[in-house]
Chain A
Amino acid sequence: MPLPPDQFLQRDLSVHPPAFTPGYKTSVLRSPKHALISIPHSLSEITGPVFRSDELGRLDNDLIMNFAKTGLPIGERVIVHGHVLNENGRPVPNALVEIWQANAGGRYRHKNDQYIAPIDPNFGGCGRVLTDAEGHYTFRTIKPGPYPWRNQINDWRPAHIHYSISGVGFAQRLITQMYFEGDPLIARCPIVRTIPDDAAIRRLIAALDPQTFVPLDSLSYRFDIVVRGARATWFENHTPGGR
Chain B
Amino acid sequence: MQPLTETSSQTAGPYVHIGLAPWQAGFEIFDKNFTNVLVAPETAGDRIRIEGYVFDGSGTLLRDALVEIWQANAAGRYAHPADPQHHKPIDPSFRGWGRAAADFETGLYTFETIKPGIVTGADGRDAAPHITMWIVARGINVGLNTRVYFSDEVERNAADPVLTGIELHARRQTLIAERQTTERGVVYRFDVRLQGEDETVFFDV
Contacts and interface: CB of A to CB of B under 8 A. Distances in A.
B61 to A, nearest CB: 12
B29 interface: yes
B4 interface: yes
B6 A11 contact: yes
**B56, B140, B144 interface centre (most CB from chain A within 10 Å):** B140
Contacts of A126: 18-19, 22, 29
A38 B134 CA distance: 15
Contact of A21 (B25, B132, B141): B141
B3 interface: yes
Nearest to B204: A36
A47 B125 CA distance: 17
Contacts of A201: 8
B195 A17 contact: no
A98 B97 CA distance: 16
Contacts of A200: 5, 8
**DSSP class of B's interface residues: helix, strand, loop or mixed?**
loop
A170 B122 CA distance: 15
A70 B27 CA distance: 16
Nearest to A172: B6
Contacts of A109: 18, 25-27
Contacts of A226: 4-7
Interface in B11-47: 11-20, 22, 25-27, 29-32
A174 B13 contact: no
Given A66-B29, A238-B124, A24 B162 contact: no
B171 to A, nearest CB: 8
Interface residues of A, number: 96
Given A44-B132, A201-B8, A98 B19 contact: yes
B109 to A, nearest CB: 16
Given A87-B2, A100-B15, A11 B204 contact: yes
Contacts of B20: 98, 100, 164
B15 A30 contact: no
Contact of B124 (A18, A56, A241): A241
A30 B203 contact: no
A175 interface: yes
Contacts of A171: 145, 205
Contacts of A47: 70, 78, 80, 82-83
Contacts of A37: 165-166, 201-204
Contacts of A41: 122, 205
B119 A43 contact: yes
A242 interface: yes
A17 B142 contact: yes
B19 A24 contact: no
B195 A33 contact: yes
A162 B12 contact: yes
B137 A3 contact: no
B136 to A, nearest CB: 6
A89 interface: yes
Interface in A200-243: 200-201, 203-204, 225-229, 238-243
A213 to B, nearest CB: 24
A176 B162 CA distance: 28
Interface in A16-51: 16-19, 21, 24, 26-34, 36-50
Contacts of B199: 32-34
A47 B64 CA distance: 27
A15 B16 contact: no
B190 to A, nearest CB: 16
Interface string B91-110: 00001110000001000000
Interface of B: 2-20, 22, 25-27, 29-32, 56-58, 60, 62, 64, 68, 70, 72, 78-87, 95-97, 104, 119-125, 127, 130, 132, 134, 136-145, 147, 162, 165-166, 171, 194-196, 199-205
Given A13-B204, A175-B10, 5 more contacts: A28-B57, A88-B3, A194-B11, A204-B10, A242-B125
9 contacts: A4-B120, A17-B10, A24-B139, A26-B11, A28-B57, A29-B56, A42-B122, A126-B19, A170-B134
